[in-house]
Structure 1
């Protein structure tokens, strides 16, 4: 039982994540780990418990990656066998546990021989050491914020109103406070207090959700068309780019909606088509539509000999007005981290390794400013935050989620758009190849989504927002404070 509690805790926490089981689990799922960790008898035991918890958490959160790596990608690009993909998944999960070892490191400072442990000190240590781990998950070549505690509550709109002030770390701290209380309160009072606290929180969540105002459209609102292309990956990654064009050509030719902007997903094509006949046909379609377009495909810079994963912004004349190059690339699929160590994993490259972009460029549409980010960039709060600081009045993400067989993966990805919308008080639109395509209002309420794995489109009215939230302005200070408090509560 000594080492079983962290595993149970990790699995329960993973099952609370979007698309898995019940979000309700998040209020007590971390408590067994915190309790077990506090009862550890030495350095190795604490280290091993952090490993067991974090590995089981990430495994039960990201289980949907197993068919992606062992079946879907191998069948399409045919560069490695399925069993290699499975073992690579196990290694990937191991890498994703690294930030959690800050809990072990801080625990070595806290559980020293001279320490007098009481309810207050163990609670504060547990809350902020874990919060520090989630902060560190945002940084480095292996950065990935999947499995953050706050993800579980993406549908709880009342709780999301914490985010404009603290970001998701504030919601994580609230969750950890409840879990720590349950872990360390006297056993005979545990159930009673858990029911009272969690019940009260849900009443508060409901009350706040009901009091949030409706979004009023004004004359400054932008009308946007979105197109969920639903092109199979085996078609997209075939040698003939015309195959992809044929899959979407009917919509492009019939797109006569009276809107200001059309958004297509990431990687409509997997090669640079700017010099091709296909692109000239698309330019003509843009002119006929009489609207600006966003379309995603890789581009090649012949002077620098570099590839970029890009979103192109075309004006009504079909001319390229701006290009955003993806800044936060996915390790192994889009770039190879620590090449000297991980060179043997280069077979995971889907098409090309890309060079990261450097500019959080804001686009202009009838004097309204907006931004576009690409795929898993929504997992990184600083991307949306930097766009808003540069003047973006609404946010867009384009994605190619066609690799994922299970809806859980799509829900976990889309949940990040909900969090980014609430953090920055900006309407957020995600447009994906197979879904989830949808719009989220500035309070984090999901306004509309399209059916997944369908060839479909929709029109959205998007209000314009200009004010920056406290979190948008001071997120870096909040991060520093969390790390300082984590160290402080480990030492005092």
Structure 2
């Protein structure tokens, strides 16, 4: 039993992820796993190979979580030692492999004794069983879409143009078709077909990229100011909220531009300041600035004793016009999944366990509409999609990425903004505490990013879009069709 192929395959696929090594690897990195899996003779052998592939993939993709869990968080909140963080990382990776076992389950249907295996059936089974696994990664309390095959191509603008029709799963299916052909084509023809197919795809990508129109910043565009606060986590998580305010006060005094909106990051403060003197000072600063503000900090509903991770929308008079409460919370850090089982991991709580929001809030700005999401919500396409369905004409995400000392983490997070922009044909702005702060146009082109780990502000011009894409309207139907195809190609 050859167990090295799925491990090598998982590592190579992880190295193709944003910020790691070379995205080019993605066109053939999955092939060794598909080949090895299809040549397995026993149930447990196939199960082991799915585990080895998915574990090595997620480990290689998310290696940057090791210093976060073993060093950065323990040093700030001081609730657990570093070695516990490392062991928790190993368990986290194990949990993230769960959706991939659908490949094994479908494989048991496909490799039944009566099965006549041929090239065509192997290709279609491999493509749609793996695609089903990536779809399942979006559901449940442990949902996390990092390590999706499509992530590797976030900078390949031509390929991204399939997203308004299929979402990222369409790009994943394209990648899997190429890998499956390489895996199952006769060995003597493998290199030839790989060169022809991959070369042709990159030619198509180049042509499409060159043909895409430039964005016209017309009269309907809104001018938006962003502020990357670059506040260290040690200051942010200290007991003195004035420390966080001092870090941003200079910018508030110096910024006199005539933009329509100022966006600050997630968790500018780590507790509800609405009844504090600091908030009253901020309200006065809003009035002086003569623009609307987005600012993130937790809010508390005292009557229900509920805590929320929130983005507050202040109008020019300093009044709270809307509050968006984060819908997709991070397991263990923001809520405790399956409490009876994982109660022992409650020490990962950063401040409070939050209640998920339930409203896809749309905000008004000079007769235009936009929405704001918080941090890792960009990993979930339904968040942006539902905002657009509710009328959002551009999209904003605020984030606190100050935990991450490795730029790979920042790149992987920001890459999700690219996918959400193209899927919905909306300009997407991400504003982070330490970076990456930037703007992506509706075709997925990164227009501008600010230097990371830098105290800096910038102005962006944001075009207004109103049309809904095919994917925005029919994503749920696409998902169901792919799951049906996965089962179908396992049975026929």
Matched residue, 2:484? 484
Distance in 1, Cα, partners of 2:55 & 2:154: 23
Mapping of residues 38-437 of structure 1, within 5 Å: 38-437=38-437
Shift of 1:193: 0.5
Quick check: 1:470 aligned with 2:470? yes
Partner SS state of residue 458, structure 2: strand
Shift of 1:260: 0.1
Distance in 1, Cα, partners of 2:253 & 2:311: 21
Matched residue, 1:2? 2
Partner SS state of residue 294, structure 2: strand
Distance in 1, Cα, partners of 2:476 & 2:297: 32
Distance in 2, Cα, partners of 1:150 & 1:92: 22
Distance in 1, Cα, partners of 2:376 & 2:389: 20
Partner SS state of residue 436, structure 2: coil
Partner SS state of residue 181, structure 2: helix
Quick check: 1:25 aligned with 2:55? no
User: RMSD between aligned alpha carbons?
Assistant: 0.4
Distance in 2, Cα, partners of 1:458 & 1:160: 27
The number of residue pairs the alignment matches comes to 492
With the length of structure 2 as denominator, give the TM-score of the two structures: 1.00
Mapping of residues 434-453 of structure 1, within 5 Å: 434-453=434-453
Partner SS state of residue 344, structure 2: helix
Partner SS state of residue 257, structure 1: coil
Distance in 2, Cα, partners of 1:134 & 1:36: 20
Shift of 1:293: 0.1
- Runs of 5+ in structure 1 lacking a partner? none
Distance in 2, Cα, partners of 1:171 & 1:234: 40
- Please identify runs of 4+ aligned residues in structure 1 that moved more than 3 A: none
| 1:27-58 per-position Cα deviation (integer Å, ceiling 9, x unaligned) | 00000000000000110000000000000000
Shift of 1:472: 0.2
- Runs of 5+ in structure 2 lacking a partner? none
Shift of 1:348: 0.0
With the length of structure 1 as denominator, give the TM-score of the two structures: 1.00
Shift of 1:218: 1.2
| 1:76-121 per-position Cα deviation (integer Å, ceiling 9, x unaligned) | 0000000000000000000000000000000000000000000000
| 1:3-27 per-position Cα deviation (integer Å, ceiling 9, x unaligned) | 0000000000000000000000000
Distance in 2, Cα, partners of 1:388 & 1:154: 21
| 1:135-173 per-position Cα deviation (integer Å, ceiling 9, x unaligned) | 000000000000000000000000000000000000000
Matched residue, 2:13? 13
| 1:250-281 per-position Cα deviation (integer Å, ceiling 9, x unaligned) | 00122211100000000000000000010011
Distance in 2, Cα, partners of 1:203 & 1:248: 47
